[in-house]
């Protein structure tokens, strides 16, 4: 019960809103509004409401909190529960086309697990919430680039050891499309069908993966899938469901994908490894790396 007690008591977070986050918030709001409605009047209403809420948000909150507020405003005003639905299907389909290619890359690799981890991180580029990483991408080019990159934060050896010992592994998914890359990594973990529980979002938020997406890419047939109880682009502990918190505190090992999960979980003492690509200056600064660097970071407090 140690971790559950810690989660209830400790409300602190490492990743707090920075000044640079606000330009990203507004960009997200404009893009989501444009995708949700053709009405210019409605788009302006959304932006005004987001600007109003951005004046109220505490700098002690995480960027994920503001992301949750932005997309709640968009949904409520437009009555569109999933503005990114078509793009998510497109990205899942495109990633599935690359699945055999990625399996070949792993199969031919001398270090299969390293390759699978890097492929999972390569998938983290598919993020509509981060400016510059959204619509058009050359996935094979991204894969080739990432496979040649070293880890800027490299806790791989501890990651490998933890995998060999853990009976239960909680895998926190991030985005659609990306979960196909996650599938490649998951399938490299021995006895993954018995050991891994995949965590997705409860309902649509930007392009974050839901149960529907896990089913679409074949992961729901491979491992147990639960949702976090969230409609936020990341993890906010005090908004999560009890079922998710039970799974979180009882897991022998946690694999966390993406920036949003890092923002919400990086200051909790959990047996967690963060896999992500640093896609903005705020994250890069927190991790003391450069934008574009690959991260395989073990929680230093666990």
Q: What is the pLDDT of residue 126?
A: 66
Residue-range domain boundaries for the chain? 18-78, 85-298
Q: String of b and e for 87-113 (b: at least 16 CB within 10 Å)?
A: bbeebbeebeebeeebbebbeebeeeb
- Output the average pLDDT for the chain: 88
**CA 159 to CA 273: how far, in whole Å?**
7
By the 8 A CB rule, do 205 and 291 touch? no
**CA 101 to CA 2: how far, in whole Å?**
42
Q: List Cα–Cα distances, 80 to 33, 64, 71, 84, 206, in angstroms.
A: 10, 20, 10, 10, 12
Regarding pTM above 0.85, the answer is yes
The 10s digit of each residue's pLDDT in 69-115 is 999 999 999 999 998 898 899 889 989 999 999 999 999 999 999 99
Q: String of b and e for 24-57 (b: at least 16 CB within 10 Å)?
A: bbeebbebbbebbbeeeeebebbeebbeebbeeb
The 10s digit of each residue's pLDDT in 28-38 is 999 999 989 99
Q: What is the pLDDT of residue 125?
A: 76
Q: What is the pLDDT of residue 301?
A: 59
For the chain, how far is it from start to end, CA to CA, in angstroms? 15
Domain 18-78 has CATH 1.10.510: no
* CATH class entry, domain 85-298: alpha beta
Share of the chain above pLDDT 70, in %: 90
Q: What are the E-state strand segments in the chain? A: 151-154, 169-172, 196-200, 224-227, 253-257, 272-277, 294-298
Number of other residues whose CB lies within 10 A of the CB of residue 67 = 25
**CA 281 to CA 272: how far, in whole Å?**
23
β-pairing, 151-154 vs 294-298, is parallel
- Nearest CA-CA partner of 125 in 115, 137, 117, 113: 137
Residue 3 in this model has a pLDDT that exceeds 90: no
The 10s digit of each residue's pLDDT in 265-300 is 988 889 999 999 998 899 999 999 999 999 999 986
The 10s digit of each residue's pLDDT in 224-256 is 999 999 888 889 888 899 999 999 999 999 999
**CA 183 to CA 252: how far, in whole Å?**
20
Helix (H, G, I), strand (E, B) or coil at 209: coil
Q: Identify the residue whose tokens are 């959204």.
A: 134
Residue 48 in this model has a pLDDT that exceeds 90: yes
């Amino acid at each position: 019960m140690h971790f559950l007690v810690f989660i209830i008591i400790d409300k602190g977070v490492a990743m707090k809103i920075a000044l640079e986050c606000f330009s990203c918030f507004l960009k997200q709001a404009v893009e989501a509004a444009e995708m949700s409605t053709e009405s210019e009047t409605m788009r302006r209403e959304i932006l005004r409401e987001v600007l109003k809420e951005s004046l109220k948000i505490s700098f002690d909150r995480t960027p994920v909190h503001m992301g949750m507020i932005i997309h709640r405003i968009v949904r409520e005003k437009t009555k569109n529960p999933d503005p990114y639905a078509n793009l998510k299907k497109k990205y899942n389909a495109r990633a599935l086309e690359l699945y055999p290619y990625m399996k070949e890359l792993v199969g031919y690799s001398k270090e299969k697990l390293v390759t699978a981890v890097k492929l999972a991180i390569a998938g983290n580029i598919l993020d509509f919430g981060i400016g510059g990483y959204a619509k058009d991408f050359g996935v094979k080019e991204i894969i080739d680039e990432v496979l040649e990159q070293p880890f800027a934060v490299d806790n791989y050896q501890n990651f490998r050891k933890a995998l060999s010992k853990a009976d239960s592994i909680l895998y926190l998914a991030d985005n659609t499309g990306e979960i196909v890359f996650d599938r490649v990594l998951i399938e490299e973990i021995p006895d993954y069908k018995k050991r891994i529980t995949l965590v997705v979002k409860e309902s649509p938020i930007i392009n974050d993966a839901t149960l529907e997406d896990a089913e679409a890419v074949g992961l729901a047939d491979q491992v147990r899938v639960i949702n976090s109880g969230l409609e936020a682009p990341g993890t906010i502990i005090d908004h999560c469901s009890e079922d998710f918190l039970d799974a979180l505190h009882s897991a022998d090992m946690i694999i966390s994908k993406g920036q949003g999960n890092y923002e919400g979980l990086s200051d909790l003492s959990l047996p967690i490894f963060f896999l992500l690509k640093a896609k903005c200056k705020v994250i890069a600064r927190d991790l003391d790396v450069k934008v574009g660097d690959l991260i395989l970071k073990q929680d230093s407090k666990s």
